[in-house]
Structures are given as structure tokens and as C-alpha cells.
Amino acid sequence: MTVMNPTRLFRKKDPYQNHISRTRGEKIGGVIICIFLFALSLIMIYPFWHVLMYSISEPERALGGGLFFYPRGISFFSYSLVLRNAQIWIAYKNTILKTLFGTLISVVLSAMTAYPLSVKRLRGRNFFSMMIFFTMLFGGGTIPTYLLVKSLSLIDTFWALILPGAVSAYNMFILRNYMQSLPSELEESARIDGAMAFTILFRIILPLAAPSLAAIAMFYGVSNWNSYMDCLLYTNSTSLQTLQLYLRQVLLQTSSANAAMTVTGETSEYVSDTQVQMVIVAVSVIPILIVYPYLQRFYTKGITVGAVKG
């Protein structure tokens, strides 16, 4: 006769329910937690909802203010005004290009740095790792970096939006740690078969490191989309303006009828400043909302696969 494992027995009954019946206090506690978390979720979502509902309401009715649980009438007039403006398309184009090329360059550079550092026999591996790790602890600062970018003649070029922040030491280490956890026999046997380092990286290691590769691609992508310091510091011309800075420019003009003027080039009685601002906020956040389900999945994976150890 086999000895029964008591925990096994209880688990069979119901995997989610505690096997000792919950006390009344615990049940009430559970309900309170659920209600609290629901309220919290509402607080997290409402600002997004507010902006979206405000932006599609009829302009005069939106001026009433208050909470917007549903749009007050539907009008896409402000959207058509905003989207008719050339500058927003320039800003959109720059942000998309920055996100695509910036992320591509960042991921390739990070992978090419991470792989050699994950090969345990490589001489100087610890030295190079420490050298990169140190940049996470200490840096030259804003002004020296600005002067460097200036002396490289990158000011007011598209490269200034991509190169200064191309590799994040943190992301590189996430990737390296993941590659280190792959069995080293893979690399060794491929080498014996005569595969070159680049072939091994792109054909064997990267496909296996896909989860962490996707995660850092997301990290880079989101930070490229949202960052504005590089654009603020290193570019002056409006042809290189990114979406975030365009948003800033429009949001800061709250004093008079400026926002609508800036965007549409005309003051229209049918449109309010606030609504134009809300439309631009909506326009810059909608792409993020669309890809958010993927972002969340890969982010969660990425954060849990790699803890940084120097």
C-alpha cells in the first residue's frame, strides 16, 4: 500500500481553492481586495479614457469639463485639423524612423557585444564586462556628453537621435546573462564543424535567445518612442523634431489661443485649445496602446529573465 501524500490529496480537490475552507474573515478580505484592485484599475485607465473621450467630443460641449465617461456628441473635426498640419507628420515620421532604426541598431550592437562577453574562454572578458558595467555607475554628465556630440558634428543630424544612447549597458547584460545560460556545447560543436563566430551568433545563439532578444527590443523600442532628451539637446531644426517634443510645444502654449494657432495656423471658433491638445496627446499615445498587449508580454518576460550581475 502506498503512503498517501497529504498535500497531493488536497491539491486534487481544487487547484485554486485553499483546502482548509476559508474563514468568513478571509472571504470578506478577498472581496475587499477585489474591489480595491478594481478601483485601482479604474484610476490607471481613466486618464487615457478621459483624453480619448474628450478628443472626440463635440468642441463646444467638451468645454463643459468634468468627467468624461462617454463622448459628448461625436466630432472628428479637431482630428482633421490636427492631421492636416504638416509638422505633426514630420514629427511622426521622425519618431517612427528613430524607433525603427534606433531599435534595430541598438539590438544588433547589443547582441554583438553580448555574445563575445558570454563566451567563457574569451580573454579580457571580465575586463570588458567591468568596463561596461562601470558606465552604469558613473558617467560624464549632460554637458560633457553634449560637447562630445557637438565635436563629432552630430548636432542637428538624425544620427544624434540614435547614436548617443545606442547601447544600454543594462539591456546588454540582460542579453549576455541569457546567452550565458545556454549550454556552451552548442557553440563548441558548431565551432568544430567550422562555423565562424558571426554564423554561430546569427544562426544558433540568437534564435535560441529569442525571448530575451524580443524583450530588449521592446525596451529599446519604448524608450526610443518616449525619449525626448536627445532631441531636445542635440537638435534645433523643426525638420528633426520628434513627436514628444511637438507634444511639449503644443502643451506649453496654454496661455492664449496659441495651441490651436500653432497646430492649425488659424484660429477657428469651432475648436478649443484643450481639445487640440487632447487630440495630440491621443495621437501620440494611440500607437503605444495598439502594441501594448505585445509589449506587456515581452516586458514581463524580459524583466524576469535577467537580473544584472557585474
Q: Which of residues 171-190 bind other proteins (CB under 8 A)?
A: 172, 188
CB 175 within 8 A of CB 111: yes
Residue from 35, 74, 100, 131 in contact with other proteins (CB under 8 A): 131
For residues 3 and 20, which CB has a smaller minimum distance to other proteins in the complex? 20
CB 216 within 8 A of CB 110: yes
Looking at residues 214 to 253 of the shown chain, list those that interact with other proteins (rule: CB under 8 A).
Answer: 222, 225-229, 233, 244, 247-248, 251
To other proteins, the closest distance from the beta carbon of 290 in angstroms equals 11
Report which secondary-structure segment, H or E, holds 84: helix 77-84
To other proteins, the closest distance from the beta carbon of 281 in angstroms equals 4
Distances (CA, A) of 211 to 190, 292, 300: 22, 17, 11
Interface mask (CB under 8 A) for other proteins, residues 46-65, using x and -? Answer: -xx-xx--x-------xxxx
To other proteins, the closest distance from the beta carbon of 63 in angstroms equals 6
Through-space distance between the first and last CA atoms of the chain, rounded to whole angstroms: 53
* d(C-alpha 142, C-alpha 75), whole Å: 44
Residue from 73, 144, 211, 265 in contact with other proteins (CB under 8 A): 144
For residues 64 and 207, which CB has a smaller minimum distance to other proteins in the complex? 64
* d(C-alpha 244, C-alpha 225), whole Å: 8
82, 13, 61: which is closest to 282 by C-alpha?
82
To other proteins, the closest distance from the beta carbon of 62 in angstroms equals 7
Q: Which stretch binds other proteins (CB under 8 A): 76-84, 85-93, 133-141, 260-268?
A: 133-141
Please count the residues of this chain forming the interface with other proteins, following the rule CB under 8 A. 109
Looking at residues 192 to 221 of the shown chain, list those that interact with other proteins (rule: CB under 8 A).
Answer: 192, 196-198, 201
To other proteins, the closest distance from the beta carbon of 60 in angstroms equals 11
- Residue 70 as a binder of other proteins (CB under 8 A): the answer is no
Number of H helices, E strands in the chain: 16, 0
Residue from 30, 73, 211, 265 in contact with other proteins (CB under 8 A): 30
Residue carrying the nine cell digits 554561430: 200
To other proteins, the closest distance from the beta carbon of 86 in angstroms equals 21
Distances (CA, A) of 98 to 223, 230, 280, 297: 10, 11, 19, 23
Task: Using only the alpha carbons of the chain, give its radius of gyration.
Answer: 26
Looking at residues 265 to 284 of the shown chain, list those that interact with other proteins (rule: CB under 8 A).
Answer: 272, 274, 277-278, 280-281, 284
Up-side HSE of residue 309: CA atoms within 13 Å toward CB? 7
- Residue 156 as a binder of other proteins (CB under 8 A): the answer is no
